[in-house]
Amino acid sequence: MTQPRNYGFEEEAGMLKDAARRFFGERLPVDRLHGLVATDYDPEGVAPLRWDPAIWDEMVDLGWTSLAVPEDAGGLAMPWVAVAGLVEEAGRAALPAPLLTTLQTTALLRHLGPSATSALEEIAGGVAATVVCLNAGGCPGPGSLRASDGRLDGEAWFVQDAGKCSRFLVLAAEEDGAWGLYWTSADAAGVTIHSDAIVDLTRDQARVQFSATPAERLAGDGLQLWRAAEPELWTLLSADMVGAAEWQLQTTVEYAQQRKQFDRPLGFFQAVKHQLVDVMVAIDESKSLVYSAACALDHEPERRRELALMAKASASETAGFASGRSVQCHGGIGFTWECYVQLYFKRQEHSRRLFGDAATHRAEIARILIDRDAA
Amino acid sequence: MTQPRNYGFEEEAGMLKDAARRFFGERLPVDRLHGLVATDYDPEGVAPLRWDPAIWDEMVDLGWTSLAVPEDAGGLAMPWVAVAGLVEEAGRAALPAPLLTTLQTTALLRHLGPSATSALEEIAGGVAATVVCLNAGGCPGPGSLRASDGRLDGEAWFVQDAGKCSRFLVLAAEEDGAWGLYWTSADAAGVTIHSDAIVDLTRDQARVQFSATPAERLAGDGLQLWRAAEPELWTLLSADMVGAAEWQLQTTVEYAQQRKQFDRPLGFFQAVKHQLVDVMVAIDESKSLVYSAACALDHEPERRRELALMAKASASETAGFASGRSVQCHGGIGFTWECYVQLYFKRQEHSRRLFGDAATHRAEIARILIDRDAA
Amino acid sequence: MTHPERRDSAEQAEYRAHCRDWLAAHHPGEPPVRLPTSALEIMTDQQMDYLRAWQGAAYAAGLVGCDYPEAFGGGGRSDCQRIANEEMLAARTPYFPNIIGLGMAAPTVLHHGSEELKARLLPRLFSGEDIWCQGFSEPGAGSDLASVQTFAERRGDKWVINGHKVWTSLAHFAEWMILLLRTDKGHKYEGLSYFVVPIAAALGRGVTVRPLIKMTGETGFNEVLFEDLEVDDSYRLDELGKGWQVAMTTLLFERGAGDLVTPRSGGLKSSSAHTTSARAVMDLAQRTARGKGLASEDPLLRDRMVRQAIREEALKEHQRRARVPALIDHPMRLPLQNKLLASELAQDTAALALDVAGPAAGLYLGDEHAPAGGQWPLAYMNSYGITIAAGTSEVQRNILGERVLGLAKSK
Amino acid sequence: MTHPERRDSAEQAEYRAHCRDWLAAHHPGEPPVRLPTSALEIMTDQQMDYLRAWQGAAYAAGLVGCDYPEAFGGGGRSDCQRIANEEMLAARTPYFPNIIGLGMAAPTVLHHGSEELKARLLPRLFSGEDIWCQGFSEPGAGSDLASVQTFAERRGDKWVINGHKVWTSLAHFAEWMILLLRTDKGHKYEGLSYFVVPIAAALGRGVTVRPLIKMTGETGFNEVLFEDLEVDDSYRLDELGKGWQVAMTTLLFERGAGDLVTPRSGGLKSSSAHTTSARAVMDLAQRTARGKGLASEDPLLRDRMVRQAIREEALKEHQRRARVPALIDHPMRLPLQNKLLASELAQDTAALALDVAGPAAGLYLGDEHAPAGGQWPLAYMNSYGITIAAGTSEVQRNILGERVLGLAKSK
């Protein structure tokens, strides 16, 4: 298959991205975000859930949960490049709401065929969902989570925005060594959500325990489906990191323009200027790869895994680099709680190690490019 | 055992180092070096041997080949820290003479006990020698070189300064799976020296072929002895790289002080200034490790391998980094044949991959520090 | 594989078909001599003759300068050079030798030259009959280009030029030079003017070209000395004192950030060509023993090779994204990164290849056992030419910080 | 293991024996509370009480300030503090809480204070009875320290101080502050003077201390506001208008480059202490699953851990080499690298630990499953305090480039 010259990023994708930037700019400017997630903090405690469900409801009203849902399940079936554009803006806003997890869940459900239609319809209708797939090592695969006779038992780790989502898509081992994907509710019987005390203030995360929890088995081989959906999960997460990194860059550039030392704006000094240029260069690398990967999801299945791995490996490095430089170039003020850069620093450090880190992903790219394993 | 507070770098070591710097400054200033090694060059040819044997003879007269030789073989038995100081100065001068190879050969011979006394006496008397130990992959170990009945057959690779040395210390496989070290002459029967066309202008290198060449078997297990002497080989080579890197730094700093662009000396610009500071920092890391390793050779056998690996891993990185920055910060002039930085650039690129590169050495350090393999 | 033809206009589709047909029938075949990595390093007449013939044939077939006006020897098309370039790359052609003419002189002459100059100079430039070189840098004017001291003194409608230019690639083959010089010593920027100068015709009579030897031991660029060279005022581009602005046009195109796509062929892979790419390093690693296995099995080298592949992929994708306005924040943000990224990528890729090659990395062009014939150490050393020439990496970062990010000027 | 006692003088050997004996009998034992990574982050009275008692005991035993003159509460020895420090480190003691007093205030007072001030201030500083803090940085004066605006107006033999200091670690425990301020608005450098100010006594009467919260969520430093605080002229150090020179003395000692060794205890390793070291990362890696094995088996992580171990070893060796004149080229070359190296090393080590920890790296102090109790993300964030405070890494590189390499000043 082929990739269109403009990534297939058409007018409606541009309108969506613009609308998202306006929406977040109005509803969640960074001072409001700081007030929302960074008040009454205890570094040794477990954070209470800090977000504004009303903003989420507005996003649902705008139809953003239905964007990636197929038409036959009541969705808009927008191309992934358009969805990536939206997620980039959500990352730029460091959005504390389950948009990314819901879109990722949608991506996984889309690999499941007709058995997922009713779950997708729920999402199109505005239900927030997240994937429940990782073991204590942060990988999909052998852990304590088991399914038997439509009941789930055991626990899963690192469940993103668990406290904000009402539906879980659960990867569980079955009795015959197979794996299944199960659709269940956060308030189903036997579900216990143990909130993690995480550094990131814009997300919540939990260990989720199941005890004879009823759940609907969806069609197909769970692990294989998970693997098939990884490129979408990685690409969307990377888009979030690219958007957040761009905020970090622009905010730090503004500071370097305004702050004077030695009677010069900070940006006069090449030590600062060149660091910021290097951040920009890193962001652009990741951004081009994100849209290339998203476009491959839409148009070039044979390279989707390779390109999504590249996007994620690049974005993970960019997220870490942009975060460090945003604090360093802000100097003392950047090290304070009141300065907004800390919010993005923590979100990026969280994102970059989710669903595999850069080195892990480069190792897999090596298998594709050097050993020529089928992607 | 213990390490002395001053590395055991006593007054006579300081006098030797000072004398060496003066000697090279007078007899081999860099313009003379350039005239010696960089005239009539054909990039597609094999270089003729370019050096000044008269300078080597003077070094022999100064007693430098006998420094590391034990007293019972007619040498001065100076500590390794003193020898490292001399080699650092030779590196700073990018010396095109077989001092390093002769000192390395001396180090290996010293592990051989009385059987090596006559070879060491030859070196103390001023004979230049080199080790002939590497296979086509650049490692000691299985290759085509074999010894049988006091005769050598086969070939060895990457023999340093082969054209300048009259004695070879050869590591050869023996018939029963054992390895032996053999002492022979460059002009012995059946020796053919195939000069390599190498980038470095301050060294020569060859593939050496033997055909029924008579050689003296020295006592001991060759591979084990080689391994025992590797710390000395690495440390001395690292001292050479540190000295060369210091020349690169100082020369580039002078250029950055003198050269003006935009009505400012180059060094005013942080992009240049901070690169040079980073080079200095890298050199100092390597230099402290070199003297620590040399001191361990003298005083702390249980850490000699670990510290020598650290010195070599660090110096290899420093050599590459200082070389790149020396050319880049010189700008266009640094890219020309007439500019002296090319001589050091090429020597450093050569040195840093000799006897194992930085990554290989870090992998071995990991086995010591993480797996706690005995060093 | 991606297929670039998707979304061609009708005119573009037809033109693409023409290119493809012509290339299928007229590929110049395997070169009779080893070619250097880039046209800037052409050293022998034999290399130049072969490459000039290729450029002439491609021009005659309409593949060179097709977006330029017909009046000046162009093809009068719009947004088609890109297509010719894509097809030539796909057909693995050799590169064009007149790289400075096509990439810098042609757009500068088009934007700033008189109608007469355009009509006279551009056709022979496109055909490769006239090779061009660039007279910008001087011993005292590198990063600080505006401090050039080469001086033209007015005598009637002539100018008398004295001065010293360096790093002039291809000067020994060049008929023409684009020349930045000073016509007023009182003003740094406003004192500069810009000429085109027929240097081949003046060799030995006011112009001396001397080869400079690179750190690699190769020649390839030159110094050019002007002693009382007389040049007609009609060879001036744009107004007197506007030399700096004209030079900015040249540099914009040099950085690949101009409004015309440079005619560019390439892609020839043969025993006589060398590519500095991640794929080439991977191939080397798969042929190189390391420890008990292959270098391609070493996890650290694999990680580094993939890093290079990622950077390459991103640089390629930048070309595409630069054309999607919704996905860029500043129009010059991607184009102005081109030179910095390409040059540092090449440098790091070559350095990695040397680490892959191990102790054999030091074997050079004349060594029968040198990996890849010694091309990797050559490529590594030459990479410093790229990170230094045409605005060092440090200058590129200043430009990006100032023009794109809006940070205060550092000088 | 290396044995530092080799080559002790007779006096030093005797003193070392004393330290060793005393420490064997008087180690303060396991702390009753979790201690932060450094004294600058002491948050509770309980922590402070425990640490102050330890410093007082060590002072009483002659282990603190032993190289200072006896007249000012010191031990009157020479080159012995180093030995006490070595022995305290070997005995794994907790650190001293009066870190700013010992490291910065004491040598500054010694070099620039009146005899009366020295006699009055130093003994209580050494014993820890008086904790000290540093009033240098302001909202508008960070890297450009000489632009401080806090102003002292003369009224007879008193000064009236108004201004705003920030990043003042330990201010909430401090009796005294070293204070850089302006006594003349007309001259940037010559308008500065330097005072010691009894801030605890003036709390609520001209001095307000407010905690600042760090990005980690912890407090630990403060802002201090002065409103018409009256201070006696006898609290001035050195002459009026010499504040910048006095501040340079303070900064020299802060960078570990002064002529007196700072009394320093440490080395305590317990469940309640956390070390940012390559060894600690290796230990973490050996406890952390990765793929089918352990993180400590991952070749890329191993390579990075060893890189950190190498940097650590070199930094340690710098202390030794700095004392061998034949092996250094410039007397300040190693001392002035200290702060830059230590801070960037700590940052990179903590970052590496997070990569070793993988997705669990995001679990923080309050999480029961957090690797090392969440100390690694804490250490990583706090590392930016170190690369920013007391001269950012960028400023450190300027200092090294200008003072050691002799390059032109960048500002």
ipTM of the complex: 0.94
Among A277, A285, A307, select the one facing C401 at the smallest CB separation. A277
pLDDT < 70 positions in chain B = 1-3, 374-375
Nearest CA distance, A289 vs chain B (angstrom): 29
Which strand (E) or helix (H) includes residue A182?
Answer: strand A179-185
Which of D213, D364, D382 to substitute to test the interface with A, most A CBs within 10 Å?
Answer: D364
Interface check D293 vs C, CB under 8 A = no
Contact B182, B169 (CB under 8 A): yes
- Mention every residue, 6+ apart, whose C-beta is less than 8 A from residue C106: C65, C68, C122, C125, C126
Q: How many percent of chain C have pLDDT more than 90?
A: 85
Q: How big is the C-D interface in CB pairs under 8 Å? A: 6
- Quick one: chain B helix, strand, coil %, rounded to 5? 55, 15, 30
Q: At what angle do helices A11-27 and A80-92 cross, to 10 degrees?
A: 20
Least CB-CB distance to D215: which of A42, A271, A336?
A336
| Residue of A158, A195, A199, A266 to mutate for D, most D C-beta atoms under 10 A | A199
Q: Which two tokens stand for residue B139?
A: 């490692």
> How confident is the model over A127-165, as pLDDT tens digits?
999 999 999 999 998 888 999 999 999 999 999 999 999
> Which chain A residue shows the shortest CA-CA distance from B274?
A271
Helix (H) or strand (E) holding A18: helix A11-27
How are beta strands A205-214 and A191-195 bridged, if at all?
antiparallel
Q: How far is CA A37 from CA A92, A94, A320, in A?
A: 16, 11, 21
Residues C80, C63: Cα–Cα separation, whole Å: 9
Average pLDDT of chain D is 93
Which residues sit opposite C267 in a β-bridge? C93
* Contact check, Cβ <8 Å, D398/B362: no
Report A:62-101 residues touching C (Cβ under 8 A): 85
Residues of D in contact with C299 (CB under 8 A): 299-300
The secondary structure of D317-383 as a DSSP string is HHHHHTT-GGG-SSTTTTGGGHHHHHHHHHHHHHHHHHHHHGGGGGB-TT-TT-GGGGHHHHHHHHH
Interface residue A40 vs chain D (CB under 8 A): no
Question: Could you list the active site residues of D?
Answer: 254
Nearest chain C residue to B329, by CA? C388
A262 to D216: CB separation less than 8 angstroms, yes or no: no
Interface contact A265, partner D, CB < 8 A? no
Chain C: touching chains (3 or more CB pairs < 8 Å): A, B, D
Residue type, C210: R
Interface with chain C: mutation pick from A1, A6, A264, highest number of C CBs within 10 Å: A6
Q: Nearest 5 degrees, angle CA D388-CA D389-CA D392? A: 45
Q: How far is CA B285 from CA B272, B275, C348, D318, D341, in A?
A: 20, 15, 23, 8, 10
Do D83 and D263 meet the contact criterion of CB atoms below 8 Å apart?
no
In chain A, residues with a C-beta closer than 8 Å to the C-beta of D290 are 137
Spatial CA neighbour of B105 closest among B82, B123, B93, B118: B123
- Chain A positions in Cβ-Cβ contact with residue C406 (cut-off 8 Å): 253, 257
**Which residue of D lies nearest to B6 if distances are taken between CA atoms?**
D324
- State the pLDDT confidence band at D120, using cuts at 50, 70 and 90: very high
Phi first, then psi, for residue C115 (nearest 5°) are -60, -40
Q: What is the spatial distance between Cα B90 and Cα B156, in angstroms, rounded to a whole number? A: 26
Instruction: Find which of B11, B86, B280 to mutate to test the D interface (most D CBs within 10 Å of its CB).
Output: B280
CB contact under 8 A, B267 and D286: no
Measured CA to CA, the distance from residue B28 to residue A325 in angstroms comes to 46
Of the candidates B186, B200, B199, B151, which has an alpha carbon nearest to the alpha carbon of residue B172? Answer: B151
**Chain C: nearest CA to D303, how far in angstroms?**
8
Name the 3-class secondary structure at C150.
coil
Q: How many CB atoms lie within 10 A of CB C76?
A: 14
Task: Check B292 against D313: CB less than 8 A apart.
Answer: yes
- Report pLDDT digits (tens) over D189-222: 999 999 999 999 999 999 999 999 999 998 878 9
User: Lowest-confidence range among A208-212, B280-284, D152-156, D217-221?
Assistant: D217-221
CB pairs under 8 A between A and B: 10
Q: State the Cα angle at B162 between B158 and B168, rounded to 5°.
A: 95
Which is nearest to B150 in space by CA: B170, B133, B135, B164? B170
Give the pLDDT of residue D33: 87
Residue C37 is predicted with a pLDDT of 77
Q: How far apart (Å, rounded) are the C-alpha atoms in residues B80 and C199? A: 61
Q: Residue B175: its pLDDT value, please?
A: 87
Residue whose entry in the numeric block shows the structure tokens 């033209």: C152
| Start-to-end Cα distance in chain D | 46
The confidence score (pLDDT) of residue D410 equals 79
Residues of A whose CB is below 8 A from D41? none
Looking at per-residue confidence, does A40 or A192 come out higher? A192
Strands B167-173 and B129-132: parallel
Instruction: Tell me if B105 sits within 8 A of B83, measured CB to CB.
Output: no
**Average pLDDT of chain C, as a whole number:** 93
Distance of residue C7 Cα from the nearest chain D Cα, in angstroms: 43
- Name the closest residue on chain D to residue A325, using Cα atoms: D384
* Residues of A in Cβ contact (< 8 Å) with B270: 269-271, 274
CA gap C137, C147 in Å, rounded: 9
Those chains having 3 or more beta-carbon pairs within 8 angstroms of chain D are A, B, C
- The model's confidence at residue D5, banded by pLDDT at 50, 70 and 90, is low
Torsion of CA A55, A57, A59, A64, to 10 degrees: 150
Which pLDDT value is given to residue B141? Answer: 81
User: How confident is residue D281, by pLDDT bands cut at 50, 70 and 90?
Assistant: very high
Distance CA B80, CA B63 (A): 15
How, if at all, do strands C132-135 and C176-182 pair? parallel
pLDDT band at C258 (very low <50, low <70, confident <90, very high): confident
Q: Do C299 and A253 touch (CB under 8 A)?
A: no
CB C355 within 8 A of CB C340: no
Active site residues of C: 254
Answer yes or no: are the C-beta atoms of B34 and B343 closer than 8 Å.
yes
Distance from CA of A358 to the nearest CA of C (A): 10
- Contacts of residues C34-37 at CB distance under 8 Å and 24 or more positions apart, as own/partner, are C34/C272, C35/C94, C35/C95, C35/C268, C35/C272, C35/C273, C36/C218, C36/C220, C37/C273, C37/C274, C37/C276, C37/C375, C37/C378, C37/C379, C37/C382
**Model pLDDT, residue B1:** 46
Q: At what angle do helices A341-352 and A222-258 cross, to 10 degrees?
A: 150
Q: How crowded is residue A346: how many other Cβ atoms within 10 Å of its Cβ?
A: 26
Asked if B284's CB is within 8 angstroms of D318's CB, the reply is yes
Q: Which residue of C has its CA nearest to B159?
A: C359
User: Is the model's pLDDT at A89 over the cut of 60?
Assistant: yes
pLDDT band with cut points at 50, 70 and 90 for residue C328: very high
pLDDT-derived band at D184 (thresholds 50, 70, 90) equals very high
The pLDDT of residue B2 is 59
Between chains, do B280 and D400 touch, taking CB under 8 Å as contact? yes
- What would the two tokens of residue D101 be? 């007093």
HEC letters along C161-197 = EEEEECCCCCCCCCCEEEEEEECCCCCCCCCEEEEEE
* Residue D156 pLDDT greater than 50, yes or no: yes
- Residue C5: per-residue pLDDT: 54
CB atoms within 10 A of CB D204: 7
Is D329 touching C (CB cutoff 8 A)? no
pLDDT at residue D268, as a whole number: 80
What is the model's pLDDT at position C281? 97
Q: Which residues are within 8 A (CB) of B15 and not within 5 positions of it... i.e. 6 or more apart?
A: none
Q: What is the pLDDT of residue A373?
A: 78
A359:D300 CB<8 A: yes
What is the pLDDT at residue A1? 46
Q: Do C394 and A300 touch (CB under 8 A)?
A: no
Chain C neighbors of B134, CB-CB under 8 A: 359
Three-state DSSP class for residue A243: helix
- Dihedral of CA atoms A198, A202, A207, A211 in degrees, nearest 10, equals 150
* Contact by Cβ (8 Å): D406, B253: yes
Indicate the residue of C7, C299, C408 with minimum beta-carbon distance to A265. Answer: C408
Report the distance separating Cα D317 and Cα D83, nearest Å: 17
Residue B374: predicted pLDDT: 64
Question: What end-to-end distance do the CA atoms of chain B give, in Å?
Answer: 15
Sign of CA dihedral B208, B211, B217, B223: positive
- What type of residue sits at position B11? E
How many Cα atoms are found within 13 Å in the side-chain-facing hemisphere of C315? 20
Residue B222, min C-alpha distance to chain C (Å): 19
Residue of C nearest to D300 (CA): C300
Confidence of residue A375 (pLDDT cuts 50, 70, 90): low
Helices (H), B159-221: none
User: Chain B residue with minimal CA distance to A273?
Assistant: B271
Q: How confident is the model at residue C270 (pLDDT cuts 50, 70, 90)?
A: low
Picking from D397, D398, D404 by the largest number of B CB atoms within 10 A of its own CB, the best residue to mutate is D397
Closest of D353, D349, D350, D343 to residue D396, by C-alpha: D343
CB B370 within 8 A of CB D282: yes
Q: Specify the DSSP class assigned to residue B64.
A: G
Q: Inspect the interface and report whether the beta carbons of B271 and A269 lie closer than 8 Å.
A: no
Mean pLDDT (whole number) for D292-304: 96
For D302, the closest chain B residue by CA position comes to B366
**Is residue C295 within 8 Å of C369, Cβ to Cβ?**
no
